[in-house]
């Protein structure tokens, strides 16, 4: 067992399982995806710490537990077709790909989209597609989705994302002002088209920029 494998196992035990996430599919996914491969080489030693890390384009890779919490809340299951808004480094999409059948990761920053696409290809995650675009309007070409995760905070849940959910689909994203403590919410699209929303707890994310989000700058 090499150093990173040991650090990854410790991360799963202490940061994820110890906080109550017990789904064996989620734990197995975090055990096999090399988080250190999704950050700068200078940050590799910190990749399995209990905190976010900076990546390119002044963005961040989320704390491992928060990624796990969002996956659990979205009830991602084998066979699911899902969308991740704000793909960033590509790490969360890679983890999700070990559970879901297909993952579309949309990223508005060209630099991040290119880097994530290269990493995903190099590591062999063939059921992940990284696209460049405004994530607040979703990715209609692959809709509808069983689940959508948004890794950035908006003032509201973007209607296009709700529209692109299948009946029974789940959306998990933070809601709140940039720079403030936000609330992680789960929205379920009922079979009759109505929505059920629940709060999962306080979080801090970068702002969701785009047509249905905040303006850049």
Domains contained in the chain, CATH given: 64-203 (3.40.50.150)
Specify whether 62 is catalytic. Answer: yes
What 3-state class would DSSP assign to 204? coil
Q: What is the predicted pLDDT for the residue at 57?
A: 82
Convert the pLDDT of each residue in 110-136 to its tens digit: 999 999 999 999 999 999 999 999 999
Determine contact, residues 98/71, Cβ cutoff 8 Å. Answer: no
Smallest CA-to-CA distance from 161 within 153, 175, 172 is with 172
Residues 82-91: pLDDT tens digits?
A: 999 999 999 9
Whole-number pLDDT of residue 96? 98
pLDDT computed for residue 179 by the predictor: 85
For the segment 172-194, what is each residue's pLDDT rounded down to a tens digit?
999 999 889 999 999 999 999 89
Give percent of the chain above pLDDT 90. 91
- Count Cβ atoms within 10 A of the Cβ of residue 91 and give its class: 0-12 exposed, 13-18 middle, 19 or more buried: buried
pTM of the predicted structure, to 2 decimals: 0.95
Q: Is the pLDDT of residue 1 over 60?
A: no
Peptide bond connecting 61 to the previous residue in cis, omega within 30 degrees of 0: no
pLDDT digits (tens, 9 = 90+) for 17-69: 999 999 999 999 999 999 999 999 999 999 999 999 999 887 889 999 999 99
Average pLDDT score, the chain: 95
DSSP of 77-110: -TT-EEEEE--TTSHHHHHHHTTSSEEEEEES-H
- Taking the CA of residue 57 as centre, how many other CA atoms within 13 Å lie in the half-sphere pointing to its CB? 18
């Amino acid at each position: 067992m090499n150093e990173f494998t040991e650090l990854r196992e410790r991360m799963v035990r202490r940061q994820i399982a110890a906080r109550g996430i017990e789904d064996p599919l989620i734990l197995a996914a975090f055990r096999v995806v090399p988080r250190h491969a999704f950050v700068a080489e200078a940050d590799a030693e910190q990749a399995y710490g209990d905190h976010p890390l900076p990546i390119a384009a002044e963005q961040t890779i989320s704390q491992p537990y928060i990624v796990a919490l969002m996956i659990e809340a979205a009830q991602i299951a084998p066979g699911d077709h899902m969308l991740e808004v704000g793909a960033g480094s590509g790490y969360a999409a890679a983890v999700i790909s070990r559970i879901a059948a297909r993952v579309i990761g949309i990223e508005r920053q060209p630099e991040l989209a290119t880097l994530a696409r290269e990493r995903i290809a190099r590591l062999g995650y063939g059921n992940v597609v990284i696209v460049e675009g405004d994530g607040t309007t979703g990715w209609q070409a692959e809709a509808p989705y069983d689940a959508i995760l948004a890794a950035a905070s908006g003032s509201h849940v973007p209607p296009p994302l709700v529209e692109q959910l299948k009946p029974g689909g789940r959306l998990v994203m933070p809601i709140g002002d940039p720079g403030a403590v936000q609330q992680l919410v789960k929205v379920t699209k009922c079979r009759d088209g109505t929505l059920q929303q629940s709060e999962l707890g306080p979080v801090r994310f970068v702002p969701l920029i785009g047509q249905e989000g905040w303006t850049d700058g």
